[in-house]
Amino acid sequence: MSLLGFLSSLIDLLLVIAGFGLIIFLHELGHFLAARWAGIRVMAFAIGFGPAMFSWRKGLGLRAGSSENEAVNRFRAGERGISPTEYRLNWLPFGGYVKMLGQDDADPTARSDAPDSYQSCVPWKRMVVISAGVVANLITAAVLFVIVFSAGLKTEPAKIGAVYPGTPAASAIARNAAELGVAEPGLRPGDEIMEIDGDGPRSFQDVILASAMAERGEPVDMAVKRAGVEGVLSFRVTPEIGPRSGLLEFGFAPARSAKVFDSERDDERGEIEKTLAKLGLAGVKPGMVLTRAGDIASVRSGEDLARAIDQSGGRPIELEFTDGVARVAVTIPTKPALQESSVKLPSGTMFVLPNLLGLTPVMTISPEGASDGTGEAYRNERAESQGFKSGDIFVRLGAVEFPSLAQGIAEIKGNARKSLPVTVARAKDGGYELIDLIAKIDSDGTIGFVPGDTAETGTLLAMPPASVVNVETGSTARTTSAAAVVTRPGLKLKRVGGTPVGTLLEAREALRAATKDAATAGTDAVVAIELEEGVFTAGGAHAATTDWRIDASDVKALHALTWAAKVSPGIFEPEEILLKGDGPIDAIRVGLGETHRVMLNTYVTFARLFQGTVKIEHLKGPVGIAHLGSKVASRGFIWLLFFLALISVNLAVVNFMPLPIADGGQFLFILAEQVRGKPVPAGFQNATMIVGMVLIAGLFLILTFNDIVGILKQ
């Protein structure tokens, strides 16, 4: 990162810290003002914890450190005009507190009999005091949301971009599909989501929350508007755990614009240009707009690029980009696309497996790493530090020989925090050498490499999956055609119908040629294939020819396959809309509605945490919030205000949880006192206080550890 980029990130972080401080200040100000209203003497108003960095007290002025001892001595000397309240800025900038006379959350036995003490105040007024911080946070959030929606917030619309194969979105069938003349299953790029479970989503973030907060196994109703369809499609989609996020997902991305990712930072723009060049787009600059893609003369979105690749027929396609002044034309190659079938991993997660009628490539370490299209690259460095190299082919991984992507990932994730024996085949002098290694697997179930496969480099085969679900039709699980001929892993496909093949992509074309007549007639096909075994054995390889019977449905699926390319809509920025109220009144309505929605979602998050669909690693501690906040702040000041509003609501909800150390727990104790006519026994309060402190401290440590580990892995 350049010096300018570092300074920009530092400024964003400082803005977030200042924003946190403001939210905490307003929370404590709520307690302070309510205490003054109730006639309770306030001893300290503090931002942060630990020793005081600075303090101010009326009658003494500003002091380095605390003025408490000085004030006590002057009180004893009979000096007047000194305020009992000390305003403090403490060294540890996490949280804050208002200390009232006779009140100590950590010591329920502490009390004072003075007429203006906490204990001398009637219970109902104390409940107001305890609740005032939460109320202040909700008011703060509402005000911030009103400001945000008065100015307008740029965000992604509730519109579908890429639909991932093998996901619920890919196989969902509209309940009124026949009525509206829709034959194909699945949600489609360009679909606009009008309602989710009866609520109108304002942005794509609302769609993500709807899936993440759904109950496991329960469908979500979705009303969708699709171009060319008269009427609204009605879907019921049951979200499933996503392989990367670990949260419940529908299985689609936000809609993409036709504008290439850009950045205001020179170092990031340089990285984006390097990534574009690797994808075959040399000369294309960040921020340029795709105007033409093959036969599509007027491109409107990133999805038009995917459509042009699908329709290429395997021919190279020309892309034209412009920045309003210069024009850049590039030609990109296309390649045969394999089938994508959904298989279930032992963890229950569905995994999309590339294959050809069940012919499944072997897992490798990707030779080039991977990129998300924005310049952020994922390398193989952690694996290479253990002796692995880019391009290695997995001959054995733990207990699995010649693993497929699905088998390999399942074996690695199933051995988290363990060491696994591995044998890889590494290219050497025109051949391969076998190397034995020990892989140390991290706690998140990774070795530290970008997985690839042999589909484009050879015809080495893993075992076909026991059963698959066709992602296009969403059909029930069934065995694959290849299961009858590939009976053990490590076989190598040499010929298809007498045609030599060097890659699985070449095998696709040979199979299509060999089954052309059967595809026309709609019948089964029988194709002679040559399989070689013993590829890496000392005794040498030997081949045998066998007849492969392919049923009519698989022949049809084979000839329905389209084309692919290195370039994808992932290079484009998401579409954006401006969320803005129609006027001041509407901005207030939207702001209050957003406050209510976020508050409910926070409560639902805790419910899903206990149900297991949201995990502890999905939560953020102070470090993670600050890190995320700095990224949000880089999107602009309005996004920072929006983020702070979210934090303010979450702080209100967490503070009012029924934990003894939190405001919610204290409120319950006072409520019990109001009902019983006497305080809750100090022993019970002490015991619950200790439990609460242990829970909060443990959660703080876990979240902070996860935050730091997550940041280091980025």
474 pLDDT band, cuts 50/70/90, is very low
Query: Is the confidence at residue 203, as pLDDT, over 70?
Result: yes
pLDDT in tens, 649-667: 888 888 888 877 788 888 8
Classify residue 609: in a domain, yes or no. no
Return contacts of 207-210, CB within 8 angstroms, 24+ apart.
Answer: 207/158, 207/250, 208/249, 209/601
Query: Are 127 and 667 in contact, with CB atoms under 8 Å apart?
Result: yes
Classify residue 189: in a domain, yes or no. yes
Query: Is the confidence at residue 225, as pLDDT, over 90?
Result: yes
- DSSP H helices in 612-681: 622-633, 637-655, 663-676
Over residues 587-613, the mean pLDDT reads 74
Contacts of 320 (CB under 8 A, 6+ apart): 290, 291, 292, 293, 327, 328, 329
Does 500 share its domain with 359? yes
* Residue whose token pair is 């993440």: 212
Element (H, E) at 47: strand 42-57
575 pLDDT band, cuts 50/70/90, is very high
- DSSP H helices in 155-195: 168-171
The CATH number given to whatever domain includes residue 393 is 2.30.42.10
Does 409 share its domain with 495? yes
Does 420 share its domain with 359? yes
Does 492 share its domain with 411? yes
Take residue 256 and report the two structure tokens written for it: 């993409």
Which carries the bigger pLDDT value, residue 267 or residue 239?
239
CA 348, 448, 628, 608: dihedral to nearest 10 degrees? 20
Does 378 share its domain with 504? yes
Does 181 share its domain with 326? no
Does 406 share its domain with 541? yes
475 pLDDT band, cuts 50/70/90, is very low
Distance set, CA 453 to CA 364, 465, 525, 617 (Å): 5, 15, 28, 29
Classify residue 213: in a domain, yes or no. yes
- How high is the pLDDT of residue 470? 53
Phi first, then psi, for residue 553 (nearest 5°) are -65, -35
Classify residue 247: in a domain, yes or no. yes
Q: 475-489, 528-542, 552-566, 635-649 — which one is most confidently predicted on average?
A: 552-566
Classify residue 248: in a domain, yes or no. yes
Per 3-state DSSP, what percentage of the chain is helix, strand, and coil (rounded to 5)?
35, 25, 35
- How high is the pLDDT of residue 30? 93
Over residues 304-321, the mean pLDDT reads 93
Which carries the bigger pLDDT value, residue 599 or residue 89?
89
Take residue 559 and report the two structure tokens written for it: 């000839």
Distance set, CA 238 to CA 55, 167, 171, 351, 612 (Å): 55, 10, 10, 16, 16
Q: Write down which residue in 337, 368, 402 finishes a domain.
A: 337
Classify residue 2: in a domain, yes or no. no
DSSP 605: H
DSSP 606: H
105 pLDDT band, cuts 50/70/90, is low
- How high is the pLDDT of residue 714? 55
CB atoms within 10 A of CB 288: 22
**For 528, what's the count of Cα atoms within 13 Å in the CB-facing half-sphere?**
7
Query: Are 166 and 249 in contact, with CB atoms under 8 Å apart?
Result: no
> In total, how many domains does the chain have?
3
Lowest mean pLDDT, pick from 324-338, 349-363, 588-602, 606-620: 606-620
* Residue whose token pair is 């989609």: 237
DSSP 335: E
Classify residue 230: in a domain, yes or no. yes
Task: Please state, in angstroms and rounded to a whole number, the distance separating the CA atoms of residues 163 and 178.
Answer: 22
Does 361 share its domain with 329? no
CB atoms within 10 A of CB 616: 10
Give the chain's mean pLDDT.
Answer: 85
Rounded to the nearest 10 degrees, the angle between the axes of helix 3-37 and helix 123-151 is: 140
- How high is the pLDDT of residue 376? 40
Does 359 share its domain with 502? yes
Task: Please state, in angstroms and rounded to a whole number, the distance separating the CA atoms of residues 705 and 714.
Answer: 15
- How high is the pLDDT of residue 184? 85
Is this prediction's pTM over 0.85?
A: no
Task: Please state, in angstroms and rounded to a whole number, the distance separating the CA atoms of residues 567 and 378.
Answer: 17
